[in-house]
Amino acid sequence: MVEQAARSGYAIEPMLGPAEAEATTWRDRRGRVQPSQTSLTPETAEEIGFTYDLSTAAVRALSVEWVDSRLKGALTVGVSRRYLPDADRPLAELHMWLDELDEIDFDARDAYGMTLHVDSGAVVIGIGDRGTMRSASARVRPDDSSWHLSAAGRAVDARTPRVSPAVRVPAPPRHPELSGAALLAALLVHRVMVGIRMVRYPEHAGEIPVHALARAFSGAGADVVAAAAHRLAARREVAFRRLIDTWLSRGGPALRPRLVNALHDIGGDSHLTEEARALIPAAPPYSRLSPQQDHDLPAEARLRLARYRAGYVERGFERAGSAVVQMARPSAPDEPWRLSGLQIREPSVFRLRTSALHGPGEPRVTVSGERTRSVVLARGGFEASAG
């Protein structure tokens, strides 16, 4: 958070208190000790190897992403325990985060079995027979509902004090319900905020006009406070109506249909009165960017993120596999590159090597109907395809 604020020009670190040492364990509501995220050291790696049978590990998720100038990775494996767990428990999971990844070689068809090698200069995770992930440092957290029964868990339980149950904090007083144009404005701002947050999902990053939305709603916080400051209800209503009109007009011909379509979706809210619904302007429905348009790729693109999720069945529940790729590509000469996200359902092939993450490459995308069938980049340094 401090780093993100600094990039935006805000120094918030002086406002924070001294950093507290992160707890490596904690107790859940049942009083059972649970492991927290911790640095992957030689001692930690030895403890993990003693607690779990890494030869049974199967990759469930893997992702590699550029964050600023650093390449970061994440790996999740399902793994059997070396101790006797509670009855009818699913496999444990190990979540690992690699902070400065400098080598990756992964093939989803060779994703069974794992080794850990940690020394003072590097963390090397072996995957299958030939796969590897190498980083300067890494963190790990077991997700294991029976961890308190392991040797490590029992040792922690003996030295971790029990705490009293948390005191329930009374709910804050409820404020008067919004109505009319104020409610419509609030729901629209909420919808826009949620829409902007959709860029967290790489496959949707190219669909969200973040810059246009930020321009249209610039100063919305102060404007909402000013509109709500009118004492007379009639004046507040007029102020919020004007505010909605301002946001729509700022959107221009490119963004206005999207905002109007959002208002029509909001119109189904049961809290809206007919008077508020009457404020929604009529407009043709907004048409989202189609997959075919997004697949019109240029001669070069840079791989920014690759994510793989394996399909598997656990306790009768089927989890579907997927592959997501995010590329940066030039939009026009002398203009910033834009992001393009693609998703492949149930991939049968997913290969990723370090070479695909350095420098531009020529993307090749195959589409069938509205589904992406395959993506190849950097002369096969990255390849994903559906079965």
Contact 386, 347 (CB under 8 A): yes
DSSP line for 209-246: -HHHHHHHTTTHHHHHHHHHT-SSHHHHHHHHHHHHHH
Give the integer Cα–Cα distance in Å for 375 and 12. Answer: 41
Query: What pLDDT score was predicted for residue 1?
Result: 67
The pLDDT, as a whole number, for residue 115 is 97
CB-CB neighbours of 324 under 10 Å: 23
Map tokens 């208002």 to a residue. Answer: 263
- Look at residue 164 in the predicted model and tell me its pLDDT: 63
pLDDT tens for the chain, 387 residues long, are 676 677 667 777 777 766 555 556 777 777 788 888 899 999 999 999 999 999 999 999 999 999 888 999 999 999 999 998 887 678 999 999 999 999 999 999 999 999 999 988 899 999 999 999 999 999 999 999 888 888 988 888 888 777 766 667 787 777 677 888 999 999 999 999 998 888 878 877 778 888 899 999 999 999 999 999 999 999 999 999 999 999 999 988 889 888 988 898 888 777 777 877 888 887 655 554 444 344 456 678 899 999 999 998 877 788 899 999 998 887 666 777 788 888 999 999 999 999 999 988 888 888 888 788 999 987 889 999 997
Q: Is 322 helix (H, G, I), strand (E, B) or coil?
A: strand
pLDDT of residue 139: 95
Separation CA 74–CA 41 (nearest Å): 17
Task: Let me know: does 240 contact 227? Beta carbons within 8 Å.
Answer: yes
Q: Judge contact between 330 and 209, C-beta under 8 A.
A: no
Question: What confidence score (pLDDT) does residue 290 get?
Answer: 42
How far apart (Å, rounded) are the C-alpha atoms in residues 73 and 307? 10
Considering only CA atoms, give the Rg of the chain: 25
Coil vs helix vs strand at 205: helix
Separation of alpha carbons 38 and 175, rounded Å: 42
CB-based contact 81:110 (threshold 8 Å): no
* pTM confidence score: 0.78
